[in-house]
Structure formats: C-alpha cells, structure tokens
Amino acid sequence: MVPIMMEKTLFQAAMAVVLSLTAIAEVDPAEILIHEGPVFTTPGLELNEEIRFTKEFPVDAATLEKQRFVSLTNKLPLSAEKAIELAKASVETGDSLGETNVIRLELLPFKRAKNGNTLYYLIELNAVGSEVHRVVLMDGTVVKSRLRQLPAK
C-alpha cells in the first residue's frame, strides 16, 4: 500500500506532465503558410534529373492573429491600388532595374480556425523580365515568397 502523501506527490507529478503536454500541444507555430504557389522544375546535375520547387508565403502567427475577419461582403480595409503600391515598393533594387508592372492580382481567402476567414491579395509583378510574387495582407503587411525544394519523385 502506498502512503497517502506519496499518492498525492505521484498524482501531482502526473498532472504536471499532462498539463505540460497540453501546453505543448496548444502552442501555435511561429509561422503559418498562408499561400503556396505551383510546382516548377529546373534541370539537375544528372542527365534527365529535375529539381522541383514551390514558392511559399509564410506569415508570422502573431501578425496573422491581428488580421480582422473580412469577407467579400465587407468593405475591404485595403484597396487593390494600395496593395499594388505596397507590393511594388517591396521590390528590391536588385530585383528591378526599371519599371515594375502588374501581371496578376487576385483577392484570395484564408481560413483561420479561430477567427473565421480573412482575405489577402496575391500580386505577381514583372520587374524587368523577372517575376516577383507578393502577398499583401489587409493591414498592409507585405509577405515575400521563399523557395522550398520538394522531395524527388
């Protein structure tokens, strides 16, 4: 038979483990992938080898949490014109030697588990022959893409 004090200590230790595991499970990731582009390939070093990539747009979880719930029936807090202006301003001088033109503008939804949907702009720019993609959130935050190599087929 285990003394009552020892039972209480074992119970407290077990509860501490359960609570710490629960806290770990509830921790939000630092980044949330809001958009992922199509897969594209480039030749590899070996004959008939292709390396596959995708462009992804990660958003800091705290930034995403601050975004208001927005639907297509609401007046948008950020106009398409302002989103384009912000996207163009985010293009580094190394990316563009001259004028930057809009190729594509899309208004897309992102479903958030806690707060419903929000909207964002996906903007594709032509910066003197180079394609540049940006996501612009409704608060004016500009998110640049990053490349992620996909596993070989």
> Which residues, 6 or more positions from 129, have their beta carbon under 8 angstroms from its beta carbon?
none
pLDDT of residue 10: 43
Beta bridge partners of 109: 119
Q: Helices marked H in the chain — which ranges?
A: 4-26, 61-65, 80-89
Domain limits, the chain: 29-149
* CA separation for the pair 125, 57 (Å, rounded): 15
Residue 48 CB partners (closer than 8 Å, separation 6+): none
Q: What is the mean pLDDT of residues 75-88?
A: 94
Whole-structure pTM over 0.75, yes or no? no
pLDDT of residue 80: 95
Nearest to 62, CA basis, from 148, 146, 145, 141: 141
pLDDT tens digit string along 48-59? 778 888 889 999
69 with 115: CB under 8 angstroms? yes
Count CB-CB contacts under 10 A for residue 83. 24
What does the alpha-carbon distance between residue 124 and residue 104 come to, in Å, rounded to a whole number?
Answer: 5
| CB of 123 closer than 8 Å to CB of 104 | yes
pLDDT band of 86, cuts 50, 70, 90:
very high
